[in-house]
Amino acid sequence: MGFPPPVDATRAQRPGPPLLAGTLLTTSGLVDLLSAWATTTADPFVVQTGRGMYLVDITGWAWLHVAIGAAVTLAGLAAATGRRGTTSFALGCAALSAAVELLLFPYAPVAALLVVGLDAAVLRLLLRHRRVGRATGGFSGARRSGPSSPDPPPWSPTRSD
**Residue 8 pLDDT level (bands cut at 50, 70, 90):** low
Backbone angles phi, psi at 74, to 5 degrees: -65, -40
pLDDT tens profile 14-32: 567 888 989 999 988 898 8
CB atoms within 10 A of CB 58: 19
Q: For the chain, where are the E strands, in sequence order?
A: 45-49, 52-56
Residue 66 has pLDDT above 60, yes or no: yes
Residue 139 has pLDDT above 80, yes or no: no
Question: Using CB atoms within 10 A of its CB, is residue 129 exposed (0-12), middle (13-18) or buried (19+)?
Answer: buried
